[in-house]
Amino acid sequence: MKFLLVTVFLDMLGLGLIVPILPALMTEVTADPATAVLWSGVLGSTYGALQFGASPLLGRISDRYGRRPVLLVSLTCLGVDWLAHASASGPWTLLAFHAVAGACAGTNTVVNAYVADVTEPDGRARAYGLIGAAFGLGFVAGPVSGGLLGAVDVRLPFLVAGLLCFVNVAYGWLVLPESRPGDRSTPITLRTADPIGAVRVVLRRPVLGRLTYARLCADIARMIHQSVWTFFLTVQFAWNTTHVGVVMAVSALAGAAFQSWATGPIVRVLGDRRAAVVGSLIGVVSLAGIAFAATPWMLYTWQAVGVAGSFAGAAAQSWISRTIGAAEQGTVQGALTSVSAIAEACVPVVAGVLFSSLIGYGHPPLIFAVAALFATAATFLLATTR
């Protein structure tokens, strides 16, 4: 667990490092701001598409050969990708390396399967809560560090992100044991590697299928919020970048602290299913409240409510892990990563267009009412699954 927490933290830290600097790098590489925006979109879409396509195969490989080699290869490819960003002189080079990194992006798949391997069912929700907390802490530290390093040199954050990946690989090579030896009888065929087929197989299973649909709805709600949040704060409350950054950092830190401290006790009292439903319902209330928040203090209140429901994801993930056997954790987690990749690839574009339209009509907060509708659908699916 210590290695997995460090892995998730460094993974998110490395990603966060490059967030504030990527526009400047792409402008430097393409020599034109408009072209830079286009290439940034192409890079992001390519990464998401290849992650969608490869995740079920990576999960299947981890079931057959073990988690450790897949995780170490994934981290190595990501490190090479960041070093390519630090040294590339043209966008096509970036696209090639970013495509390979997307095809090898198995960190989330393997970490979730690894947690299921090394923790007892009753302790998984707490473990997934700690993973979520490490994710949040990396989210806080990354952009701040990236902004400071980028002020020195626009390529320095990418170099640091790559080095962090390789440090993590070395740490894992020396410290991380294999969680399961793998099962060489697990077949790897074109049919099992097909992402659409893998997702279809998951959706056909009664309980797991409903939980997957619930996860998709929750991911859509999350991505709507994530995609427009900074723009919303600027448009609705005229906050400057410092104010926005402080609010986001405080929210992320509060969420990380609450997940690491409260998830285990809450799930022990309520169980995975009821905890997932209650946490998801709290998330609905938070999003609906933000949609009608007229003052900053109302916004802070509804954000705090959202933090109080942050255990929902860990509880749902624990519930999912209980519904599948040890020999197929990687396969199913890979399919779930593909489902999340669909939301992460498509929602930002649609949410951006919708938010722009709502600004034109003078009602930008209503974008969070849309997010609340998807969160409500997720809650309904969780509540009606037996």
pLDDT tens-digit readout, 277-310: 999 999 999 999 999 998 999 999 999 999 999 9
Tell me the pTM: 0.83
Alpha carbon separation from 134 to 38, 107, 137, 142, 290 (Å, rounded): 32, 14, 5, 12, 26
**184 in any annotated domain:** no
113: nearest Cα among 75, 168, 165, 56: 56
Q: Which whole number is the average pLDDT over 181-194?
A: 70
| Joined tokens for residue 122 | 């009753």
User: Does the pLDDT value for residue 241 go beyond 70?
Assistant: no
**186 in any annotated domain:** no
| Joined tokens for residue 125 | 């929700």
DSSP conformation class of 123? G
**What CATH number should be reported for the domain holding residue 376?**
1.20.1250.20
**222 in any annotated domain:** yes
Number of domains, the chain = 1
pLDDT on residue 37: 66
Query: Which range marks the domain in which residue 118 is found?
Result: 2-177+192-383
pLDDT tens-digit readout, 44-64: 778 778 888 888 888 888 888
Contact 310, 31 (CB under 8 A): no
What are the contacts of 355-358 at 24+ separation with CB within 8 A?
A: 355/227, 355/228, 355/231, 355/232
Q: Which whole number is the average pLDDT over 27-46?
A: 76
pLDDT tens-digit readout, 260-283: 889 999 999 999 999 999 999 999
**143 in any annotated domain:** yes
**336 in any annotated domain:** yes
pLDDT on residue 303: 93
| Joined tokens for residue 331 | 């396969």
**83 in any annotated domain:** yes
How many Å apart are CA 371 and CA 178, to the nearest integer? 39
Looking at 7-11, 95-99, 212-216, which range is the least confident one? 7-11
pLDDT on residue 209: 93
User: Does the pLDDT value for residue 326 go beyond 80?
Assistant: no
pLDDT tens-digit readout, 331-346: 888 888 888 888 887 8
How many Å apart are CA 321 and CA 261, to the nearest integer? 21
How many Å apart are CA 312 and CA 308, to the nearest integer? 9
pLDDT tens-digit readout, 92-145: 888 898 888 888 877 888 888 888 888 888 889 999 999 888 888 887 787 777
How many Å apart are CA 43 and CA 46, to the nearest integer? 5
Question: Which of 112-126, 213-227, 254-268, 366-380 is modeled with the greatest confidence?
Answer: 366-380
Alpha carbon separation from 157 to 81, 87, 149, 246, 345 (Å, rounded): 13, 12, 6, 21, 24
Contact 245, 139 (CB under 8 A): no
What percent of the chain has a predicted confidence (pLDDT) above 70?
A: 96
48: nearest Cα among 203, 224, 195: 195
**183 in any annotated domain:** no
Contact 327, 63 (CB under 8 A): yes
233: nearest Cα among 244, 248, 223, 225: 244
178: left (phi over 0), alpha (psi -120 to 50) or beta: beta
